[in-house]
Amino acid sequence: MASNIKNEVLIRVYILLFLFVAAAVLIFAKAIRISVFDGEKWRSAGKALVKMRPVEAERGNILTEDGQFLATSIPVFDISFDPNSSGMKEGDFDANIDSLAYLLSTYVDNSFTPGGYRDYLITMRNEKKQYVKIKLGASYAEKEMISRFPLFRQGQFKGGFVVQQKYRRERPFGLLARRTIGYVREDVPPVGIEGSFNYILNGEQGEQLMILVDEKAELWIPVSNYEAIEPKRGDDIVTTLDMELQDITEKALLRAMNYHNAEWGTAVVMEVKTGKVRAVANLGRTDEGWWETYNYALGQPIEPGSTFKLATIMALLEDRVVSLEDSIDLNKGRMEIYGKTVVDSYAHGLEKTTVRKAFEISSNVGMASLVHQHYNQTRDEKGNTIKKADQFIDRLKQFKLHLPTGIKIEGEAKPYIKTPYSTQDEWSGLTLPWMSFGYEVMLTPLQILAFYNAVANNGVLMKPYIVSEIQHMGKVKETFKPIIIDQAIASKSTIKKAQLLLEGVVENGTAKKIATDDYRFAGKTGTAQVDYQRLKNRTQISGYQASFVGYFPAEEPLYSCIVVINRPREHGFYGADVAGPVFREIADRTFASKIDLHKSINEMAKENKHYKLPSKSVGEKQDMAYLVKHFGLPTYGTAGSDWVMLQATAPDSIRVVTRKMEAKEVPNVVGMGLRDALYALENRGLTVEVVGVGKVVQQSIRPGTKLGNYKNIRLELK
**Cβ proximity of 646 and 624 under 8 Å:** yes
pLDDT of res. 123: 95
Residue-averaged pLDDT of the chain: 86
- For residues 149 and 38, the model is more confident at 149
pLDDT of res. 609: 43
Kindly state the average pLDDT of the residues 185-192: 82
pLDDT of res. 2: 60
- For residues 183 and 364, the model is more confident at 364
Whether 557 has a pLDDT exceeding 80, the answer reads yes
Kindly state the average pLDDT of the residues 560-575: 95
Q: pLDDT tens-digit profile of 368-395?
A: 999 999 998 766 566 566 778 999 999 9
pLDDT of res. 217: 60
Q: Where are the domains of the chain?
A: 2-37, 248-556+565-597, 600-660, 662-718
Task: Give yes or no on whether 248-556+565-597 and 662-718 have one common fold.
Answer: no
- What CATH number belongs to 662-718? 3.30.10.20
3-state secondary structure of 648: strand
Whether 141 has a pLDDT exceeding 70, the answer reads yes
Q: pLDDT tens-digit profile of 189-238?
A: 888 899 999 999 998 887 878 777 766 667 777 776 666 778 889 999 99
**Cβ proximity of 524 and 310 under 8 Å:** yes
- For residues 654 and 578, the model is more confident at 578
Q: How confident is the model at residue 287 (pLDDT cuts 50, 70, 90)?
A: confident
**Cβ proximity of 339 and 451 under 8 Å:** no
- For residues 644 and 202, the model is more confident at 202
Residue type, 459: G
pTM over 0.85: no
**Cβ proximity of 299 and 486 under 8 Å:** no
Q: How confident is the model at residue 187 (pLDDT cuts 50, 70, 90)?
A: confident
Helix ranges (H only) for 261-343 are: 296-299, 309-318
pLDDT of res. 35: 63
pLDDT of res. 644: 73
Quick one: 248-556+565-597 is in which CATH superfamily?
Answer: DD-peptidase/beta-lactamase superfamily (3.40.710.10)
- CA-CA distance, 396 to 417, in Å (whole number)? 8
Q: How confident is the model at residue 23 (pLDDT cuts 50, 70, 90)?
A: confident
Q: pLDDT tens-digit profile of 680-708?
A: 888 888 888 887 777 887 888 877 788 87
Q: For CA atoms 302, 306, 310, 315, give the dihedral sign.
A: positive
Q: pLDDT tens-digit profile of 227-250?
A: 677 888 999 999 999 999 999 999
